[in-house]
Amino acid sequence: MPEPVTPVNAPSDRVVVDGKFFRLGPRKFHLKGVTYGPFAPNADGETFAPPEQTARDFRLIRELGANALRVYYPPPVWWLDLAAEHQLRVFVDIPWPKHLCFLDSKQSRAGARRTVRDTVARTRGHPAVFAHSVVNEIPADIVRWSGTRRVERFIEELLDQAKTADPTGLFTFTSFPPTEFLRPANSDFVCFNVYLHQPDALEGYLSRLQTLAEAKPLVLGEFGMDSIREGEARQSGFLAWQIEGAFRSGLAGTVVFSFTDDWFRGGQQIEDWGFGLTTRDRRPKPSFHTVQRHYRIAPRFPLRPEARVSVVVATYNGARTLRNCLQSLTRLNYPDYEVIVVDDGSTDETPEIAAEFPSVRCLRQANQGLSAARNSGVRAATGRIVAFTDDDCRVDEDWLYYLVGDLQRGGFAGIGGHNFLPPEDSPVAAVVAASPGGPAHVMLTDRDAEHVPGCNMAFYMEALEQIGLFDPTFRKAGDDVDVCWRLLACGLRLGFSPAGFVWHYRRSTVQAYLKQQAGYGEAEALLLRKHPDRFNSLGGGVWRGRIYNTAKAGVIVGRSVIYHGLFGSGFFQRLYAPEPSLPLMLCTTLGYHVFVTVPLLVLSVYMGFLLPVALASLLLSLGVCAVAAAQAHLPRHNRRFWSRPLIALLFFLQPLVRGWARFQWRLRTRSNRGSRLPEVPVAAAADAPGFLCYWAQGGVERYHLLRGIQEGLERCACAFEPDTGWEGYDLEITGNPWSRLRLTTVTEELELGRKNFRCRLETFWSFQVKWLFAALVVVEALAIAALAEQLPWLWLLPATLPLSFWFVAEQGRDFQFVVAALIDDAARRHGLVRLPDADPGNRKPVPVEEDSERVAGKVCPPTRAVADLRTGGGTFPRQD
């Protein structure tokens, strides 16, 4: 159904930005426009048609179903009044000599500022004006000549000039592929002119532009096809999939180039191009009727098919924001969905608030944690797709439409979207949103995600069932990270929907924010035990993709790299964006302060010359936090004099609170995690090697043995991580705080269907031990340097290092014995026969606690879990 047109009656009736879209009053405003002119100058020297012709054009444009016009010169007042009468919005380009090296001339810069300021001032408050573009398509050569950052700063200056002239207006800069790297920070929305004639190429590039646009609306400012060269039939088909593809991709609007073939440019009539929907005498082409049909359907083209969705909201004492959440969920533009609230033992007014919504199913259970609550919702769900949001979120009315549409078209197992700070949230919440540690998505490509935030995600039910739902171990946070990593480990894909966004209320006090970060620290400790290959030796998470968040992950010290020279003539310029400087951010971590700053401060009491070094170390940390606060993005209406100092303070406190919580949790849980490991008799230690070999006859596969080993580790509550295809081993096992073990297996094919299974067990130090030895060496060296003259016995301290090495080696050897016993048990269960360690191919099989003739005939039938392990899981086909 076409969107009802909202009449334009008063200057106060203005379009505003609303997340990734525009809003006019209570309803969204999707820009459905055409370019208009310029034409040969009329009697008054204006590049617009006479009033009579203009009125006829506007009536035809309304028949087209368009609601906006884009013009390339500031229109006169009579023209704007006529547009308002026909309920048309006007997108005005402001022309100035951007094709010259304008930054080399003070007069050119001043003229551009004056033109922008005067144009906006003349049209300020007019009811027909939608937005202004302060410049359209700066030539790429001019940008390279003047410097990317200088041009970007000048565009930002022009945008500020426009906002000063009209504080409530909308302003942008119109770019195109050769200058996609220009990203002025203060534009209200992103506008690109794109001419691509292949559907896959356009879909891919729009995904890229959505990534570049981040939290701002994206408008396709120009697109079209020349009917003279391509033919009217091809132009018509081209515009059909262009419009549908753009709106399905979540764009806030499109502008077709152009309304008519009548086009005057550069002082002459253009005769050899025919981009218009009508001829020069305004006769509609086939493309006119195509655009008319698609603009009537836009923005919500039918999904294929419209799968039933179950929306699960897990809540615990969420009364403050739950009502807003449920109100938004009852107004979704989606035909078939249900809402399930899981009350995880709340003690506030949560049950009463949920009861206010008869259409919402409410489940109540004793407090079991976030993952258990989400699992309860999944088990109660009736939809093929299960979507999740939090009780402190307010969803966009088209949230499910875009989320499900992108999930279906992309062939993903799961998908997520943006979470934005609501405009009505408090200044403290804005500070929290700009501080580290908030919910973020991690992108591998412009379409594929490595992680999507738990406050905005959806999965196919069969994908969740394949991985066994959420892990109840994660009570506060981390469940979304765990689910994403397990899905990826099964060979499935995650996607990202830029238009499927939610408004996410942030913590409104510093205390609540730090409490949240402590919970995240505990979750990281659990994730480290379950997914050790996803963390580095310092205990930090290792992401293969790029993190996107309202807050920067660190201080940006590099610059964007674009092509120059001969390569700079390419039409599509790839942007190499600067990464946050992680080495600088290490200066703010708990480990840095514990092993560097604090020891230096303590030693400076005895060694005065170390005091400047200690103070420099502390000032380095504070300086990094101050720079990060200066680079943080804050909404203008939420800025206060104390905002950036508070962000700097949170950048300093957050890694300390989160790191300490992570360390405490690991200390509390390390004994429990290994307490159920089997006891190995001393006699067994003599032949518990770093190498094992087993013999089998018949249908047993190496994957059966691996699965049996994993089941044994799970029974013993021993943390392990299977290889996901990136490593050179099959399992990495964590059983004590000192050692880790990597298990590698291989199959040797023998005659008559017989096989040998070899297992290699390699132990290495855990990251705690690495840090402990590093700290021990540093402390001993500093102590000897500072106090050896007063305390000569300190020279004996290095003698403790070999003893420490021996202790850790023995712990690793003991752990190797335990794992060997677990492997023996798994082998026995699958009917394998243990072979002697030396030269196994020439030895007679020796049974492990069973008769060899009996066990040799055993065959383990393949299970679904084993089949999944062998195939790496399934994939979800594209649904067109």
CB atoms near residue 272 (< 10 Å): 7
Whether residue 683 is predicted with pLDDT greater than 60 in this model: the reply is no
Report d(CA 84, CA 88) in Å as an integer: 6
Tokens of 540: 């930090």
- Confidence label for 345 from pLDDT (cuts 50, 70 and 90): very high
Can you tell me whether residue 135 is helix, strand or coil? strand
Quote the tokens at residue 366: 């004793």
- Rounded CA gap, 275 and 256, in Å? 9
pLDDT at 726: 60
How far apart, in whole angstroms, are the C-alpha atoms of residue 447 and residue 417?
Answer: 11
**Span 356-364, mean pLDDT?**
93
d(CA 273, CA 866): 62
pLDDT tens sequence across 252-298: 999 999 999 998 887 888 888 899 999 999 999 999 999 999 999 99
C-beta separation of 474 from 484 below 8 A? no
Instruction: Supply the pLDDT for residue 530.
Output: 78
Helix (H) or strand (E) run with residue 171 in it: strand 171-175
- Secondary structure letter of residue 593 according to DSSP: I
Share of the chain above pLDDT 90, in %: 43
Nearest to 743 by CA among 685, 827, 681: 827
- pLDDT value at position 855? 32
What is the per-residue DSSP string for 720-782?
EEE--SSSSSSEEEE-SSSEEEEEEEEEEE-GGGEEEEEEEEEEEE-HHHHHHHHHHHHHHHH
Mean confidence (pLDDT) of the chain:
82
The 3 state secondary structure assigned to 619-640 is: HHHHHHHHHHHHHCCCCHHHCC
Q: What is the pLDDT of residue 688?
A: 46
809 vs 177, higher pLDDT: 177
Average pLDDT on 307-317 reads: 94
Q: Which residues pair with 16 in a beta bridge?
A: 23
Q: Average pLDDT for residues 728-742, to the nearest whole number?
A: 78
Give the per-residue pLDDT at 854: 35
What is the amino acid identity at position 198? Q
Has residue 514 got a pLDDT over 70?
yes
- SS percent in the chain: helix, strand, coil, step 5: 45, 20, 35
Cα–Cα nearest to 98, from 154, 46, 26: 154
Please report the pLDDT score of residue 853 as a whole number. Answer: 36
Q: What's the pLDDT score for residue 580?
A: 65
pLDDT of residue 863: 31
Count other C-beta atoms under 10 Å from residue 719's C-beta.
22
- pLDDT tops 50 at residue 691: yes
Q: Write down the pLDDT at residue 636.
A: 76
Question: pLDDT-derived band of residue 28, with 50, 70 and 90 as boundaries?
Answer: very high
103 SS3 class: helix
Write out pLDDT tens, residues 756-780.
888 988 888 766 676 677 777 777 6
pLDDT digits (tens, 9 = 90+) for 695-728: 887 778 888 888 888 888 877 767 777 765 566 7
Mean predicted confidence (pLDDT) in 103-128: 94
Amino acid 263: pLDDT: 87
Left (φ > 0), alpha (ψ -120 to 50) or beta: where does 317 sit? left
Tell me the torsion sign for CA atoms 520, 360, 326, 455. positive
User: Among 692, 641, 674, 670, which residue's Cα sits nearest to residue 825?
Assistant: 692
> How many helical (H) and strand (E) elements, i.e. helices and strands, does the chain have?
28, 30
* Among the listed residues 311, 176, 297, the one whose alpha carbon sits nearest the alpha carbon of residue 243: 297
Buried b (16+ CB within 10 A) or exposed e, 340-378: bbbbbebeeebeebbeebeebbbbeeeebbbbbbbbbbb
Of 64-78, 137-151, 849-863, the range with the lowest mean pLDDT is 849-863
* Pick from 812, 778, 772, 771: nearest CA to 798: 778
pLDDT digits 0-9 by tens, 389-446 = 999 999 999 999 999 999 999 889 999 999 988 887 788 888 888 888 888 888 888 8
Structure token digits, residue 737: 């705080």
Predicted local distance difference test score (pLDDT) of residue 538 = 61
**63 contacts 29 by C-beta, under 8 angstroms:** no
Using DSSP bridges, classify how beta strands 456-460 and 414-420 pair: parallel, antiparallel or unpaired: antiparallel
Q: pLDDT value at position 841?
A: 44
| Bridge partner residues of 27 (DSSP) | 24
Q: Please say whether the dihedral angle defined by the alpha carbons of residues 878, 180, 441 and 400, taken in this order, is positive or negative.
A: negative
| Res. 875: pLDDT tops 60 | no
282 conformational bin, left if phi > 0, alpha if psi -120 to 50, beta if neither: left
Q: What is the pLDDT of residues 533-545, one digit of tens each?
A: 777 666 667 777 7
pLDDT, one tens digit per residue, over 785-808 is 666 666 676 666 677 777 777 777
Residue 859 has pLDDT above 70, yes or no: no
Please give the pLDDT value at position 880: 38
Half-sphere CA count of 548, side-chain side, radius 13 A: 26
Lowest mean pLDDT among 5-9, 60-64, 480-484: 5-9
Mean pLDDT of 619-642: 85
Alpha carbon distance 727, 743 (integer Å): 11
Query: What is the Cα–Cα distance from 601 to 616, expressed in whole angstroms?
Result: 11
Q: What are phi and psi of 501, to 5 degrees?
A: -110, 165
Residue 572: the pLDDT is 52
**CB of 532 within 8 A of CB of 734?**
yes
Residue type present at position 460: Y
Per-residue pLDDT tens for 568-608? Answer: 555 554 544 566 666 777 888 888 888 788 888 887 877 77
DSSP state of 62: H
756 token code pair: 């040998």
Is the separation of the CB atoms in 39 and 47 below 8 Å?
yes
pLDDT of residue 499: 93
